[in-house]
Structure 1
Amino acid sequence: MRTKRELYQEAMRTVALRRQAARANAEDARAEAEAAIPALRHAEEEVRVRGVRCALAGASGGDRTAAAAALTKAKQELAALLASSGRPADALEPHFTCKKCQDTGSFEGHTCECIHKLMQKLRREEIEKLSSLSVSSFDTMELRYYPNTMDEKLGEPVRTYMGGLLEELRAYAEEFDRSSESLMLFGNAGLGKTHAALAIAGIVLAKDMDVIYVSSPDFFAKLEALHFGSDPSGEEETLLQTAAGADLLILDDLGTEFNSSFFLSTLYSLLNNRLGAHLPTIVTTNITDGALLEKLYTEKISSRLSSFVPCLFVGKDIRGQKAREES
């Protein structure tokens, strides 16, 4: 899990390499063109000289009409030379990936949107490496896997209920901001909880917000190993701060981790800090019994989780159904 600063630095390195490559490609193109067109170098120099004279005329407050006309003529002659060899007018210019900032990462004194998009892409790739699923979409959550049978407790068919729940979760993602409520997606295994959480992540990432996804057992096991082992670089604190400060934190598969005093105190601190900062968290868990939840996580943690909006997933194991279809 990288911090936002680390993502920014990596994105800046990426655009710097793009700029370097564009300029190198332009130099190669110029050398090739000059070798093929003997008059090209003189034409380029004429454009440069006319450009300087035009700028000087403007700076002195004089009439720059004649200088501008001469510059236009020089550019036309250069374009004609390039065209005669089958090259476009901009053949000698660097072709930057981002037209706005020309791969500098800055536009009009602010971080260019290309940097934000790269940071989103890097975070998305990170989540996909950490999760068993790619950053998913609600469109790939097929309702046919939920039985179209009446559920007495719900008072409606399972498929109808799940269709409504998934639409509510999609709306949550589309309307998401830093004041959104926290959610607890709970239900038996294989019903699409992680899929739905990752679908929310994909939409929220596209809003230029930072999403941290962690598998609860892996995340807390790593923290505990760092806490009781060697951590000279302070990685434990960095991981905790990154998770605590994310616009959206997804704690997947809560209830499958090793239950230790360190885990309980760290989970409580993380939840408490995020709730205190009014930052949304999504928890997925197979635990459907509130009494068991309190028994596992103590009353303090249970009370924090009770403030999350409950989202019950019902039906039959979708993974099993898909496995049977593929066999």
Structure 2
Amino acid sequence: MRTKNELYQEALRTVARRRQTARAKAEDARAEAEAAVPGLRHAEEEVRVRGIRCALAGAAGRDRTDAAAALTDARKKLADLLASSGRPADALEPHFTCRLCEDTGIVDGRTCSCVHKVMQQLRRSEIEALSSLSISSFDTMELRYYPARMDASLGEPVRSYMSTLLDDLRGYADEFDTTSESLMLLGNAGLGKTHAALAIAGEVLEKGFDVIYVSSPDFFSKLEALHFGSDPAGEEEMLLRTAAGADLLILDDLGSEFNSSFLISTLYSLLNNRLGAKLPTIVTTNITDGALLEKLYTEKISSRLSSFVPFLFMGDDIRAQKAEEV
């Protein structure tokens, strides 16, 4: 898990590599064209010289009409020469990925939108690596896997109930901002809770917010190992600070981790900090019994989680159904 600043620095390096690659390719293209097209090097030099003279005339306050006309004529001759060899007029220029900032990462003294886009892509890749699932959309959550049978406890078919539930989660993603409520997606294993959480993550990332995903057992076991082991770089504090300050935190599979006093205190601190900062969190868990949740995590944590909006997933194990289809 990288901090937002680490993500920003990596995005800047990515954009810088794009600029370096574009310029290197342009140099290769220029060398190849100059070798193949007689007079091309002279035509390029004419454009350069005429451009300098035009700039000097403007800087000196002199009339630039003749200098500008000479520059235009030199550029036309270069373009005609390139065209005669089957090359476009910009064949010798670098082709940057972002035309707005020309892969510098800066526009008018501000970070270019292309850097933020790279940050989103990097975070998306990180989440997919940590979750072992692709960030997809709600469109890939097929209702056919939820049974059409009537459920007495719901008073309606499971499929129609889940259709409404997923529509509500889609609406949450569409309207997300840092004042959105926290959610608890609960239900038996294999019903699409993580899939739905990641679908929300994808939408939220596209809106420009930063999302941190952590698998509860992996996250807390790593924190505990750092806490009671060697941590010269202060990674434990960095991980906790990053999770606590994310625009949206997804805490996946709560209840599958090894329970300990360290887990209880750390989870309480994390939830309390985020609730205090009014930052939304999404928790997924297989624990549907509130009494069991309180027994596992104490009344204080259960009280914090009770403020989350619950979404109860119903149905039959979708993973098992898909395995039978193979």
Distance in structure 2 (CA, Å) of the matches to 1:136 and 1:197? 10
Relative to the length of structure 2, the TM-score reads 0.98
Distance 2:15 2:255 in 1: 41
- Give the C-alpha shift of residue 20 in structure 1: 1.1
Q: For residue 41 of structure 2, what is the aligned residue in structure 1?
A: 41
1:173 corresponding residue in structure 2: 173
Q: Distance in 2 between matches of 1:46 and 1:84?
A: 18
- In 2, Cα distance between the equivalents of 1:130 and 1:72? 56
1: CA distance, partners of 2:223 / 2:39: 66
Matching of residue 281 in structure 1 with residue 285 in structure 2: no
Provide the residue aligned with 2:309 in structure 1: 309
Which residue in the other structure is 2:156 paired with? 156
**Amino acid aligned to 2:273:** N
Identity of aligned residues (%): 81
- Cα deviation digits, residues 292-327 of structure 1 (max 9, x gap): 11111101100100000011111111111111111x
Q: Which residue of 2 aligns with 1:186?
A: 186
Q: Which residue of 2 aligns with 1:122?
A: 122
Q: Return the alpha-carbon distance in structure 1 between the equivalents of residues 91 and 146 of structure 2.
A: 57
What pairs up with 1:74-89 in 2 under 5 angstroms? Answer: 74-89=74-89
Deviations 1:167-215 (A, max 9, x none): 0000100110000000000011111101100100111111111111111
CA RMSD of aligned residues (A): 1.0
Shift of 1:98: 1.1
Match of 1:94 in 2: 94
Give the secondary-structure state (helix, strand or coil) at the position aligned to 1:184: strand
**Structure 1 residue 60, shift from structure 2 partner:** 3.1
Residue type of the alignment partner of 2:290: G
Instruction: Give the match for residue 232 of structure 1.
Output: 232
Match of 1:99, SS state, is: coil
State the AA in 2 paired with 1:22: A
| 2:70 matched residue in structure 1 | 70
CA distance in 2, matches of 1:92, 1:133: 43
Distance in 2 of aligned mates of 1:44 and 1:23: 17
**Over residues 52-87 of structure 1, what are the superposed CA-to-partner deviations in whole Å (9 max), with x where a residue is unaligned?**
222222233333222211111110001111111111
In structure 2, what is the Cα distance between the partners aligned to 1:3 and 1:59? 47
The answer for the alignment partner of 1:246 in structure 2 is 246
Mean Cα deviation higher: 267-276 or 26-35: 26-35
Q: Where does structure 2 lack aligned partners over 5 or more consecutive residues? A: none
Correspondence 1:198 to 2:198: yes
Query: Whole-Å Cα distance in 2 between the matches of residues 132 and 185 of structure 1?
Result: 19
Counterpart residue identity of residue 93, structure 1: E
The aligned counterpart of 1:216 is 216
Q: Distance in 1 between matches of 2:115 and 2:275?
A: 30
- In structure 1, C-alpha distance between the alignment counterparts of 2:132 and 2:43, rounded to whole Å: 59
SS in structure 1 at match of 2:282: strand
**Matched AA of 1:164:** T
* SS in structure 2 at match of 1:136: coil
